[in-house]
């Protein structure tokens, strides 16, 4: 079984447990022109994590890591809130927010490619500095976001499904299609697998790595917009906090090698949905939100170990 399929199995198993344990889990109702219910909630709130996990998967494929995801979300949310408050329309707000994501991605790539910094160090810079900038942008306050676009993006529906789900699905579909129809995905994996061999084979490693970080930044910015719209406010301090870690966990559960070279977008998607379902499950099981991280961490550990490609090898070795 491929690691990605194992991640989907883990997700399926969790859903089965939920169906048994949570009485209302299976109940999806058509209320006021839209579907409502716990699974829909998981999709709606998980859309952001799915987005950033896909971006993170591309970065991890090249052998890197993007720790700046959470702060890019905060930056994008704060910028959107401020521009919105200043009376700008959605096109300006969205392009500025996404622009900041691309910019941070390019800075990360410059540090990694040109500066030859280890990615975990390079992306610490936006991780730490980004929140400070977000505070500056927000003027030190929690800005309300109540423009019409935010209402529509945060609680609107289309064909009965939340807009956030459509946005994430659309964006991810475009990326998946591009990777499938071109050789870029193979290039990213090759760079992560053996940088020296890629140099000798003439692979434009720098450009591919830049693409990965820029995509990750873009997706984080879109996730930031969705998050701000969801709660109708932009809190520079809390928005997107620790999301980069969730993203890495989702990617690893999905069978992408943390050392690079092998990656699976589908797996990362399954990993992200697994995490989101777990959060909802624990909440429904009455676990207090301040202690929830502990059981969550334990389950994530199990999922990560089981879905990791090397687990199978170790097991067969110890058995022989």
Partner 1 sequence: MFECRDLVRRFGPTRALDGVSIAFEEGRIHGLIGANGSGKSTLLRIIVGAEVADTGTMSKDGAGWAPRSTADAARAGVSMVHQEVRLGPTSTVVDVMNLGRWPTTRFGFIDRAGATARTREALRRVGLTLDPDLTVGILPLAVRQRIAIARALDAPVLTGASRLLVLDEPTSSLGAREVADLFGLLRKLAEEGACVVFVGHALSEIEALCRTVAVLRDGRVAWRGEVSSGGRSVWVDAMLGRATTARATRVTQDFGNERRVAVEGIGSDTVPAKSLDVAAGECVGIAGLLGAGRTEWLRLVAGVDRSRTGSVAIDGRSVPCADVASALRAGVAYLPEDRRRDGLCIGLTVRDNLLLAVRSAEGWWRGRLAVEETLEALVRRAALPDGCLDRPVETLSGGNQQKVLLLRLLLANPKLLLLDEPHRGVDIGAADAIDGLIHARRETGLSVIRVDPDLEALCRVCDRIAVMVEGVFVDPSVPAEAEAVRRRLSGDVA
Interface ranges with partner 1 (CB under 8 A): 181-184, 186-187, 189-190, 193-194, 196-204, 208, 257, 261-262
Alpha carbons 187 and 205: distance in angstroms, whole number: 8
**Please, what is the minimum distance in Å from the beta carbon of residue 2 to partner 1?**
12
For partner 1, the closer CB: 159 or 196 = 196
Cβ of residue 191: shortest distance to partner 1, in angstroms? 9
Of 196 and 319, nearer to partner 1 (C-beta) is 196
Q: What is the DSSP string of 80-118?
A: HHHHHHTT--HHHHHHHHHHHHHHHHHHHHHHHHTS---
Phi and psi at 101, nearest 5°, equal: -65, -45
β-bridge pairing 143-144 and 157-158: unpaired
The residue (of 22 and 198) whose beta carbon lies closer to partner 1 is 198
Nearer to partner 1, 3 or 46 (CB): 3
Give the shortest CB-262-to-partner 1 separation in angstroms: 6
Residue number with CB closer to partner 1 (39 or 187): 187
Exposure letters 26-35 (e unless 16+ CB within 10 A, then b): eeeeeeeebb
In terms of CB distance, is 22 or 203 closer to partner 1? 203
* In the complex, minimum distance from the CB of residue 193 to partner 1, in angstroms, rounded to a whole number: 4
* Least CB distance to partner 1 at residue 195 (A): 10
Separation CA 108–CA 126 (nearest Å): 8
At residue 22, the 3 state secondary structure works out as coil
Cβ pair 55, 219 in contact under 8 A: yes
Compute the Cα dihedral for 312, 315, 319, 320 and give only its sign.
Answer: positive
**To the nearest whole angstrom, how small is the minimum distance from the Cβ of residue 67 to partner 1?**
24
In angstroms and rounded to an integer, the radius of gyration of the C-alpha atoms of the chain is 20
Q: Which residues contact 159 (CB under 8 A, 6 or more apart)?
A: none
């Amino acid at each position: 079984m491929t690691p990605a399929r194992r991640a989907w199995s883990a997700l399926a198993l969790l859903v089965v447990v939920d169906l048994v344990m949570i009485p209302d889990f299976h109940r999806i109702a058509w209320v006021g022109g839209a579907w409502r219910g716990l699974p829909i909630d998981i999709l709606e709130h998980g859309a952001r994590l799915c987005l950033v996990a896909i971006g993170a998967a591309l970065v991890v494929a090249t052998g890197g890591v993007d720790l700046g995801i959470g702060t890019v979300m905060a930056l994008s949310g704060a910028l959107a809130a401020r521009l919105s408050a200043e009376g700008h329309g959605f096109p300006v707000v969205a392009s500025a927010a996404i622009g900041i994501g691309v910019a941070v991605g390019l800075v990360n790539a410059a540090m990694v490619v040109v500066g030859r910094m280890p990615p975990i160090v390079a992306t610490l810079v936006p991780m730490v500095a980004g929140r400070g900038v977000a505070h500056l942008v927000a003027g030190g306050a929690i800005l309300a976001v109540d423009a019409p676009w935010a209402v529509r993006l945060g609680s609107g529906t289309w064909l009965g499904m939340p807009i956030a789900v459509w946005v994430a699905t659309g964006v991810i579909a475009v990326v998946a299609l591009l990777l499938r129809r071109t050789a870029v995905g193979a290039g990213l994996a090759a760079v992560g697998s053996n940088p020296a061999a890629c140099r000798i084979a003439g692979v434009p490693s720098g450009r591919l790595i830049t693409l990965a970080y820029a995509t990750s930044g873009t997706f984080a910015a879109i996730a930031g917009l969705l998050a701000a719209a969801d709660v109708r406010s932009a809190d520079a301090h809390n928005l997107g906090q620790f999301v980069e870690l969730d993203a890495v966990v989702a990617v690893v559960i999905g069978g992408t090698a943390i050392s690079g070279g092998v990656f699976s977008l589908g797996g990362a998607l399954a990993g992200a949905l697994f995490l989101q379902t777990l959060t909802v499950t624990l909440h429904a099981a009455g676990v207090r939100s301040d202690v929830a991280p502990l059981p969550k961490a334990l389950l994530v550990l199990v999922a990560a170990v089981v879905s990791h490609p090397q687990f199978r090898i170790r097991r067969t070795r110890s058995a022989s």
